[in-house]
């Protein structure tokens, strides 16, 4: 008899699997196993968070980046991108619009753009904090010094998203010519230490990534225990060195989302835009496989298409209000309930 049903049951009952067990599962999973896995992940999500799906307003405020990640469309070497940078006033206007649409979490994401000095960021975060005392401010701006992270936290930032991208040190160094595996981990540790709610995560289907590497991603997350976990398929971008590679699949990504829910049951897991790009129902399927967050874009329509980390990213022509109501409808049609509250992680609430 196959040991897979037992492994799935073990994951559900104990929220734990060894590296070897995960690898075995990934190498041998069948379509029928996947359906069982998704339903166990959904049950787990419901036990921890009910049928709520938290909404976050995503502001992509600059596509200027000093890093040169081989997969990313806004890497420094891509001369074909038209670069933009929103001013602090423009970012505040996005927050205002987002607030009026009901969002109580603002995610400020950008390339690694040092035009936004610590001083500028402190001033911006303080202004957002002052205008919206009850809102959560999430940063996704890449690597800075622990001192800067500390000052941004003191200014009012609550959360920080920084994917570990891959738990394979070798693969990490290969696809990040300007960054280092250990440095990334040190940043994540520092953020957690400072008191941020931290989001880590990885891409699925990177060139050369093995099932054992993906098992290591889950083991790393299990040990690090982040509040948030972002998992998306790698999607090739033609203006990058990985443009001709194969991307990650919907099924493989959903399996990783579901396993993340089983192994780190109290985490907040977004149904990512990359999944929605890969398949029109990708985000809904992720919600049915354990995800419980969606991050609609509130970036001004005039610059949206320039924030293209991967090709054919959805919602490029939409306005913030389109995304707001489109997402709510999708959540309802998938059988869940949109929640506009702050949506802190269970781990954070009990800390």
Q: Is 271 in contact with 309 (CB distance < 8 Å)?
A: no
Q: Whose CA is closest to 278, among 299, 304, 297, 252?
A: 252
Residue 74 C-beta: closest distance to ligand 5AD, Å: 8
User: Which two tokens mark 65?
Assistant: 């980046």
C-alpha Rg value of the chain to the nearest Å: 19
Q: In the chain, count of helices (H) and strands (E)?
A: 15, 9
- Mark residue 52 as left, alpha or beta (left: phi above 0; alpha: psi -120 to 50; beta: remaining): beta
Give me the least distance between CB of 228 and ligand 5AD, in Å please: 12
Complex with ligand 5AD: residue 309 or 327, whichever CB lies closer: 309
Please, what is the minimum distance in Å from the beta carbon of residue 235 to ligand 5AD? 4
The one-character DSSP state at 309 is S
Residue among 149 and 310 whose Cβ is closer to ligand 5AD = 310
- Residue 69 CB, shortest distance to ligand 5AD, in Å, is 7
- The residue count of the chain comes to 351
Given the complex with ligand 5AD, which of 4 and 296 has the nearer CB atom? 296
Minimum CB distance to ligand 5AD smaller for 165 or for 339 = 165
Residue with Cβ nearer ligand 5AD (211 or 241): 241
Interface with ligand 5AD (CB under 6 A): 71-72, 163, 165, 203, 232, 234-235, 237, 274, 309-310
| Nearer to ligand 5AD (CB atom), residue 26 or residue 161 | 161
CB of 282: closest distance to ligand 5AD in angstroms?
A: 12
Q: How far is the CB of 268 from ligand 5AD (least distance, A)?
A: 16
- CB of 180: closest distance to ligand 5AD in angstroms? 15
* Nearer CB in complex with ligand 5AD: 144/237: 237
Output the CA–CA distances (angstroms, integers) from residue 196 to 3, 17, 62, 149, 347, in the order listed: 39, 27, 22, 9, 12
Q: Which residue is nearest to ligand 5AD (CB)?
A: 310
SS3 for 92-157 is: HHHHHHHHHCCCCEEEEEECCCCCCCHHHHHHHHHHHHHHCCCCEEEEECCCCCHHHHHHHHHHCC
Collapsing DSSP states into helix, strand and coil, what is residue 227?
coil
Secondary structure (3-state) at 61: strand
Smallest separation, CB 11 to ligand 5AD (Å): 24
The helix-helix angle for 211-224 and 19-28 (nearest 10°) equals: 140
Q: How do 337-339 and 293-294 pair as beta strands?
A: unpaired
Q: Tokens 């496989």 label which residue? A: 289
d(CA 180, CA 50): 38
Closer by beta carbon to ligand 5AD, 200 or else 263: 200
Nearer to ligand 5AD, 266 or 308 (CB): 308
CB 310, min distance to ligand 5AD, A: 4
């Amino acid at each position: 008899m196959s040991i897979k049903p037992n492994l799935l049951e073990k994951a559900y009952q104990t929220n734990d699997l060894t590296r070897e067990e995960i690898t075995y599962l990934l190498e041998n999973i069948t379509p029928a196993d996947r359906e069982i896995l998704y339903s166990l992940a959904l049950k787990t999500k419901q036990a921890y968070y009910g049928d709520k799906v938290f909404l976050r307003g995503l502001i992509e405020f600059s596509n200027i980046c000093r890093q040169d990640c081989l997969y990313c469309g806004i890497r420094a070497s891509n001369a074909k991108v038209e670069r933009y940078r929103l001013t602090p006033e423009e970012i505040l206007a996005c927050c205002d619009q987002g607030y009026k649409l009901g969002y109580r979490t603002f995610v400020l994401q950008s390339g690694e753009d040092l035009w936004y000095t610590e001083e500028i960021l402190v001033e911006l975060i303080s202004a957002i904090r002052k205008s919206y005392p009850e809102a959560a401010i999430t940063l996704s701006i890449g690597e800075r010094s622990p001192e800067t992270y500390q000052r941004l936290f003191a200014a009012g930032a609550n959360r920080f998203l920084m994917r570990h991208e891959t738990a394979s040190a070798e693969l990490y160094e290969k696809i990040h010519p300007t960054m280092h595996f250990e440095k990334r981990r040190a940043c994540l540790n520092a953020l957690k230490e400072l008191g941020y709610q931290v989001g880590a995560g990885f891409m699925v289907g990177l060139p050369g990534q093995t099932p054992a590497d993906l098992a290591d991603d889950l083991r790393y997350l299990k040990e690090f225990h982040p509040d948030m976990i972002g998992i998306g398929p790698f999607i090739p971008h033609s203006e990058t060195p990985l443009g001709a590679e194969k991307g990650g699949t919907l099924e493989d990504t959903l399996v990783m989302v579901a396993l993340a829910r089983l192994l780190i049951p109290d985490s907040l897991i977004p149904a990512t835009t990359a999944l929605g790009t890969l398949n029109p129902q990708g985000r809904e399927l992720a919600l049915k496989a354990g995800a419980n967050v969606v991050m609609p874009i509130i970036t001004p329509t005039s610059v949206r298409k320039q924030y293209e980390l991967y090709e054919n990213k959805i919602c490029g022509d939409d306005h913030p209000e389109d995304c707001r109501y489109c997402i709510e409808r999708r959540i309802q049609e998938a059988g869940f309930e949109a929640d506009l509250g702050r949506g802190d992680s269970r781990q954070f609430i009990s800390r």
